[in-house]
Amino acid sequence: MKLRWLRAPGIIRRLFPDFVWRYNSGEKKVYLTFDDGPIPESTMWTLDLLKEKGIKATFFCVGDNVRKYPNLYQRIVDDGHAVGNHTHNHLKGWYNNTQKYVENVILASEFIESKLFRPPYGLIKRSQAKYLQTDYKIVMWDVLSGDYRQDISPERCYRDVMKNVRPGSILLFHNHLKSEKNMRYTIPRLIDELHAQGYEFGVCH
Residue 48 known to be catalytic: no
The CA distance from 5 to 145, in Å, is 9
Q: Which of these is catalytic: 18, 35, 81, 195? A: 35
pLDDT in tens, 44-95: 999 999 999 999 999 999 999 999 999 999 999 999 999 999 999 999 999 9
**pLDDT at residue 22 above 70?**
yes
Judge whether 10 lies within some domain: no
pLDDT at 4: 54
Residue 160 known to be catalytic: no
Q: Looking at residue 22, what DSSP letter applies?
A: B
Judge whether 180 lies within some domain: yes
Q: Find residue 60's DSSP bridge partners.
A: 35, 84
Q: How many distinct helices (H) and strands (E) make up the chain?
A: 8, 8
Q: Which of these is catalytic: 86, 88, 174, 176? A: 174
Judge whether 15 lies within some domain: no
CATH number of the domain where residue 72 is located: 3.20.20.370
Mean residue pLDDT of the chain comes to 94
How many structural domains comprise the chain? 1
Judge whether 12 lies within some domain: no
Judge whether 96 lies within some domain: yes
pLDDT in tens, 187-196: 999 999 999 9
pLDDT in tens, 125-181: 999 999 999 999 999 999 999 999 999 999 999 999 999 999 999 999 999 999 999
Decide the pairing of beta strands 29-35 and 170-174: parallel
Judge whether 14 lies within some domain: no
pLDDT at 203: 98
Judge whether 7 lies within some domain: no
pLDDT grade for 12, boundaries at 50, 70 and 90: confident
Residue 125 lies in domain: 26-202
**pLDDT at residue 106 above 60?**
yes
Judge whether 106 lies within some domain: yes
